[in-house]
Every structure is written in C-alpha cells, then in structure tokens.
Amino acid sequence: MKVVLFCGGFGMRMREGADDIPKPMAMVGDRPLIWHVMRYYAHFGHTEFILAMGFGAKHIARYFLEYEEAYSNDFVIDSGEVDYLTTDVADWKITFVHTGIDTPIGERLHRVAPHIGDDEVFLANYADVLTDAPLDRMVEEFVAGDSLVSLLAVPPQSAFHIVDVNGDNIVRGIRSISEVPVRENGGYFVMRREVLDELRPGHDLVGDTLTRLSAQGQVRAYPYDGFWMPADTVKERVALENLATSGEAPWQLWRENGALAKMPPSALLSGR
C-alpha cells in the first residue's frame, strides 16, 4: 500500500541552529523522525511513500538526495568499492510533492491524490509520531470492515488532572486525565480511496473531513495502549533520543535483536 506522509508542518529550532527545519526532520539518534516512521512502514512491507511537503521542504529533499546508507547499515570496502551488507532505502519508492506552506492537511491530501493512483486502500501519517502498534492487524481489521477511515486511538498523553467543580466553585473531585475514558487521535490512518471524494478545498483532514465522516459512522478506531510518543515537547524529544541511543527503542520493530522498552510513555517522561 502507498503511504502518504504529511511532512509540511512548522518545526522547531534544531541542534544545527537552523530555524526552518520541519518537525519530521527532528533528529532521533542519528536519523530524523520521518526516517523512523518510514522504516516502521517498510517493516510491514509498505515501501511506496508520497511526501506531502510544505514548510522546510528543502531539508527533506536534501536529506534523501544526499542519503548515506553507511550511517545505519553494515558495509565492506574492497579495493575502493563499497558493498552494503544491508540497506535502508534502496528498495523504497519516494514521491516528493510540494503542497504549499500554510496548506491544511486535508488540502495536502487532495494535492497528492493523483500519486495514489487507483489504489483502493492507502495509509497516511503525520510523520512525527512513533509507535510499535501492530500495523498489519490494524490494516487487516480495516479491510474486513466497511468504514472509510481507521485511525490509531491512544490513551491521553497529558499528565494534567481533571478538576470536577460544582456551581459554587467547590472542587468535588480530582483525577488524572489518564483515568478519563477518552482517547486521542494517534495520527496513523488507513483510508479507502473514497475519502478523496470527501475532501473539500482548503479543509483540514481531521477537523473537517473526518469529523463529518465520523458523524456518519464512517470512521473506526483501532485502540492501542502500547508505545506511542510524539516529539512535540523537549521532554518528549529527550525521551525518544534516550531510547534510541540506549538501543531500547520500541518502535524499531525492524531490529532483530533490539531490546524493546516495556514501560509506557508516561513512565518514560516522568522518570518512574
């Protein structure tokens, strides 16, 4: 299946000092977030990627145009010739599409639609969140049903507490938001091509299109309580970096002997 990656969002200041780096290019170990996301999909056999680029597109394009396999693969140099024992992107097909700087995600999907071709089902992702969710089972359940969209639904990641206040401003109860029976959009989507016909010019994907489709019963959730972590805060990026450098990165399912962290993301962030 083709994988559409929305990688045009505004980023953060990076360690190199540049201020025009898109968030998917935030480094985790010696590779950017988007690489880790793509390796996750490739692990499940999905190696045709469509990058919907926007802010900082030149950094994404340059990274893959100048890609160095040696940074993450074993190789042999024999008489000046390089022989790679393993490869990352050699069998990937990557389509780079400039979809505008301030373009909503729904419009980005509309602009890359011609590259999806006639595929009846495709995958989509924000390209800045990592997980070890069983993508194969998520796709299998989706294909067996009749919904137009499936999204990964994860527990609330915030450490805030919910305060129950009565009409006199008396607090009647306090509980962690993790105890509330709600879930967040995890940013991993499986879609039928009919979704492309539901897109409206200038609309957002989730806030507009999927909100409308969910009211029609056309969106299903794939609940997942395992590892899922964004890179929105410094604390989250540090936690991901520590996991990557320690060799205990749960999302790296492609590693045959890599140890997988068993603690939930909340524990990793709190230090418990």
Query: Per residue in 176-208, pLDDT tens?
Result: 777 777 899 999 999 999 999 999 999 999 999
Residues 123, 206, 132: CA angle, nearest 5 degrees: 45
Assess whether pLDDT exceeds 80 at residue 71: yes
CA–CA distance, 89 with 42 (Å, rounded to integer)? 9
pLDDT, position 18: 53
Count the neighbouring beta carbons within 10 Å of the beta carbon of residue 125.
Answer: 24
Closest CA relative to residue 41, chosen from 186, 200, 254:
254
Assess whether pLDDT exceeds 60 at residue 257: no
**Pair 125, 39: CB distance under 8 Å:** no
CA–CA distance, 184 with 221 (Å, rounded to integer)? 10
Average pLDDT of the chain? 87
**Greater confidence, 9 or 136?**
136
Exposure string for 214-235, b = 16+ CB within 10 A, e = fewer: beeebbbbbebeebbbbbeeee
Assess whether pLDDT exceeds 90 at residue 36: yes
What number is the average pLDDT over the span 121-140? 96
Q: How confident is the model at residue 264 (pLDDT cuts 50, 70, 90)?
A: very low
pLDDT, position 15: 41
- Taken in order of first residue, the domains within the chain and their CATH numbers are 2-155+183-270 (3.90.550.10)
CA–CA distance, 45 with 52 (Å, rounded to integer)? 21
The model's pLDDT over 208-222, given as tens digits with 9 standing for 90+, comes to: 999 999 999 999 999
